[in-house]
Amino acid sequence: MAIKDNKSEEMETDKDQRENFTVVNNSDEDLVKKETIPHFFPTYRVKRNLYPIPIILVVLVAGVLSYLTYIEAGVQIDGGYISESEYGPIGGIINGIIYTALAALSAFIIIFVIKRKGVSTLMYIFGIGFAIVAFFQTWFFGEVIVYLIFFDLPIQYARFFYLVDAELIFFTAVGTFVMIYKYLTSKSIRIKNFIVLYIGLLIGASMGVLMPLWTTLAILIGISCWDLFAVLYKRGPIKQLVEMVSSPEDEDASDMTEKIKSGEYKYDTSKLEIGIGDLAFYSMLTSSALVQTSNVIIMILSAIAIIAGTGITIMGLKRNKILPGLPISIFLGIGTMLLSWYLFTL
> Between residues 330 and 77, which one has the greater pLDDT?
330
Provide the H-helix boundaries in the chain.
52-66, 84-87, 89-117, 121-151, 158-185, 189-210, 213-232, 237-245, 251-262, 276-293, 296-316, 327-344
What is the DSSP secondary-structure string of 79-103?
A: -SSS-HHHHTHHHHHHHHHHHHHHH
Residue 34 has pLDDT above 70, yes or no: no
- pLDDT at residue number 104: 93
- Nearest-5° Cα angle at 58, 44 to 111: 45
Mean pLDDT of the chain: 85
* Whole-number Cα distances in Å, 279 to 103, 143, 171, 198, 235: 16, 24, 26, 10, 24
Interval 310-327 mean pLDDT:
88
pLDDT band (50, 70, 90) for residue 211: very high
Question: Cα-flanking dihedrals φ and ψ of residue 267, to 5°?
Answer: -70, 145
Interval 67-83 mean pLDDT:
90
Residue 134 has pLDDT above 80, yes or no: yes
- pLDDT at residue number 213: 94
- pLDDT at residue number 283: 97
Nearest residue to 275 (alpha-carbon basis) of 104, 55, 63? 55
Interval 73-102 mean pLDDT:
92
> Between residues 214 and 233, which one has the greater pLDDT?
214
Q: Would the pTM count as exceeding 0.95?
A: no
What is residue 188's DSSP assignment? B
Residue 187 has pLDDT above 90, yes or no: no
pLDDT band (50, 70, 90) for residue 4: low
- Please state, in angstroms and rounded to a whole number, the distance separating the CA atoms of residues 213 and 197: 24
Q: pLDDT tens for residues 293-302?
A: 999 999 999 9
- pLDDT at residue number 263: 61
- pLDDT at residue number 175: 95
- pLDDT at residue number 208: 94
Interval 149-174 mean pLDDT:
79
> Between residues 83 and 154, which one has the greater pLDDT?
83
- pLDDT at residue number 22: 52
- Please state, in angstroms and rounded to a whole number, the distance separating the CA atoms of residues 317 and 4: 7
